[in-house]
Amino acid sequence: MEQISKRLFNWASVLEPSTRQQAEMTATMPFIFPHVALMPDAHLGRGATVGSVIPTLRAIIPAAVGVDIGCGMIAVRTQVTVDELDGLDRRALRLSIERAIPLSAGVYNTTLTETAKARIAHLEGKARFDYDQITGKWPFQLGTLGSGNHFIEVTVDEENRVWLFLHSGSRGIGNKIAMKHIKVAQRLMEKYWISLPDKDLAYLVQDTEEFWAYIRDLTWAQEFALLNREEMMDRVVSCFEEWYGSSVDEAERINCHHNFTQRERHFGKEVWLSRKGAIEATEGKPGLIPGSMGTASYVVTGKGNPVSLHSSPHGAGRMYSRSAARKTFSREQLREAMKGIEYRDTDAFLDEIPQAYKDVDQVMADARDLVEIRHTLHQIVNVKGD
């Protein structure tokens, strides 16, 4: 861990100068308390660094939560061992999952499962905004994956036990909610002649109507994201059961956000703690840290490090932008990285090649005082959207 300044602590051994500068800029905001914590997977983001933990007093920066509100991971440990899968066609499982769960940006459910209907009804009962004006399609987004670094995987741990693992968030409606409130905050900065080092550091002040409207919508979107993962995992379990030929006994299910805000107490004060690309790692709390496509993922337990504000990294963290990765790496390199893993072989995933990300093993080494590794997972099936 490195103390960059009085208000910025860094756990990343690999940190680009532009990322460092962005984090330093965020740490200068007057309502930061006590400091910003930069995680090992930190990389450049919109307004605030992805992989940062930002505690604020009586204010929130909407862009510091991120535009995919509530994005996170869910994993299920099954009773099945990998040896029991010998002779089964893993491609058939991948195709089954791809049929059961809509993939890619802008793709929706055409019909809704009974569990999805129940979850939608629950969300409708909690909504305090006109969600039809934001997007009338949102109920059909529940149970959909999206694209980019979102994934569904079948993985195996160090004891040869099979885990089902996926990563996704609040889909299109979460993005629209985030963008709406980022623009509200920016208009308020202009209205009150408040100068900012970056317009995406625009903030909302507690006890204003705009602040509580954001908290209300943010809380809803975070729950949507959590239920979205639950719905998809239920479908993945069903696909696995049909393919495996027997029911799954869930030994453990973990569901955690890594783009979210909640009230927490740190260094003697109540703060709004925004984790943008970071998971909560209070002492004993289970968490999930995925690597990149083709690399290991981790099931962890938090150590409750006070300087990190009880937080840890959320993944590997990008080293190459998507466009740079496409120009740098080849499909043959992707095939080599995915050797032994059942996946959809396409140029669409070039920007997700492991070499475009930090070395997840180094990230976990940097996080050794933040989390304890319980299980290391290696993929045998990978599903992604274009």
Closest CA to 306 of 278, 273, 282: 282
Rounded CA-CA distance 309/225 in Å is: 23
pLDDT of residue 45: 92
Structural domain includes residue 315: no
Predicted confidence (pLDDT) per residue in 338-357, tens digit: 999 999 999 999 999 999 99
Beta bridge partners of 270: 265
pLDDT of residue 104: 87
Number of domains forming the structure of the chain: 1
Q: What average pLDDT does this structure show over 93-114?
A: 93
Structural domain includes residue 124: yes
Task: Please indicate whether residue 35 is annotated as part of the active site.
Answer: no
Structural domain includes residue 373: yes
Mean of all residue pLDDT scores within the chain: 95
Half-sphere CA count of 340, side-chain side, radius 13 A: 8
pLDDT of residue 136: 67
Residue scoring higher pLDDT (128 or 35): 35
Predicted confidence (pLDDT) per residue in 276-310, tens digit: 999 999 999 999 999 988 899 999 999 999 999 99
Structural domain includes residue 305: yes
pLDDT of residue 134: 66
One of 181, 314, 375, 378 is an active-site residue; which one?
A: 314
Model confidence band, residue 105 (pLDDT cutoffs 50, 70, 90): confident
Structural domain includes residue 90: yes
Structural domain includes residue 13: no
Structural domain includes residue 60: no
Predicted confidence (pLDDT) per residue in 106-154, tens digit: 889 998 999 999 999 999 888 776 655 566 688 999 999 999 899 999 9
Rounded CA-CA distance 73/289 in Å is: 8
Q: What average pLDDT does this structure show over 61-87?
A: 96
- Domain containing 107 equals 69-254+280-310+323-384
C-beta of residue 292 within 8 angstroms of C-beta of residue 357? yes
CATH of the domain at 82: 3.90.1860.10
pLDDT of residue 335: 95
- Using the predicted structure, report yes or no on whether residue 26 has a pLDDT greater than 60: yes
CB burial of residue 309 (10 Å; 0-12, 13-18, 19+) = buried
Structural domain includes residue 272: no
pLDDT of residue 129: 65
